[in-house]
């Protein structure tokens, strides 16, 4: 596996092998080995609930503990210390069947104590949609997040061959294919929890 350079990223964007839409400013967003992505305007945060725990087998439980909110342009979403929220990238991405990608936080955000993904920074070959960001504030001060600001970066890697069953394949359980807004966990759809 090899990480794509800026030259190869631009070439793949030009040929349509990789799609990132809308890409506002290719010269500013394409970095030496990644592409900066912006945060969208849709967020999901935890409600304060009176349940002792989240049960991934309870079909009604997962949707009940989060609420959605839309942040208008020029307004901000405030993430407080020790808080967790979901958001999406402003851009929609399409990964070919012979690439994988990773989402990483920008160092400018990390220096504020903001992480952009908890564990799910990996994007499978064949994925298409907006990328859900799992945002945490591990700092000591609240931080304002603005829709449209560059918040993370995507890194592309080539695979040794095309995936036989890429993400979105009809026989694959691709729970988040084509997502356009932050999605709560769909862990209840995991085959081992359906037993």
* pLDDT one-digit tens code per residue, 11-23: 999 999 999 999 9
Q: What's the confidence (pLDDT) of residue 176?
A: 81
Number of helices (H), then strands (E), in the chain: 5, 11
Structure tokens at 115: 């992480």
Which residues make beta-bridge pairs with 22?
none
Which whole number is the average pLDDT over 1-18? 95
Mean pLDDT of the chain: 90
Q: What's the confidence (pLDDT) of residue 88?
A: 94
The full set of domains in the chain, from first to last, is 2-49+60-186 (2.70.40.10)
Binding-site annotation, residues for dCTP: 106-111, 124, 132-134, 153, 167, 175, 179
Q: Which residue has the tokens 């290719």?
A: 26
Binding-site annotation, residues: 106-111, 124, 132-134, 153, 167, 175, 179
Alpha helices per DSSP H over the chain = 6-15, 26-29, 61-64, 107-110, 191-194
* pLDDT one-digit tens code per residue, 22-77: 999 999 999 999 999 999 999 998 877 777 777 777 766 666 778 899 999 899 99
Rg (CA), the chain: 17
Q: Longest Cα pair distance anywhere in the chain, in angstroms?
A: 52
> What is the C-alpha to C-alpha distance for residues 114 and 103, in angstroms, rounded to an integer?
14
Backbone angles phi, psi at 168, to 5 degrees: 95, -10
Q: Single out the catalytic residue among 42, 134, 171, 183.
A: 134
């Amino acid at each position: 596996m090899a990480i794509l350079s800026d030259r190869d990223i631009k070439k793949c964007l030009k040929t349509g092998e990789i799609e990132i839409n809308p890409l506002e400013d290719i010269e500013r967003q394409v970095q030496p080995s990644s592409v900066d992505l912006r945060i969208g305007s849709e967020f999901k945060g935890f409600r304060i609930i009176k349940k002792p725990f989240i049960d991934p087998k309870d079909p009604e439980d997962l949707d009940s503990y989060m609420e959605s909110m839309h942040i208008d342009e020029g307004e901000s979403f405030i993430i407080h210390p020790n808080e967790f929220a979901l958001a999406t990238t402003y851009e929609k991405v399409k990964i070919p069947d012979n690439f994988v990608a990773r989402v990483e936080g920008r160092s400018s955000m990390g220096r504020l104590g903001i992480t952009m993904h908890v564990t799910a920074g990996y994007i499978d070959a064949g994925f298409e949609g907006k990328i859900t960001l799992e945002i945490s504030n591990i700092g000591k001060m609240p931080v304002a997040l603005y829709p449209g600001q560059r918040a993370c970066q995507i890194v592309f890697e080539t695979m040794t061959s095309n995936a036989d069953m890429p993400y979105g394949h009809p026989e694959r359980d691709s729970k988040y294919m084509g997502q356009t807004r932050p999605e709560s966990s769909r862990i209840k759809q995991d085959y081992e929890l359906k037993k």
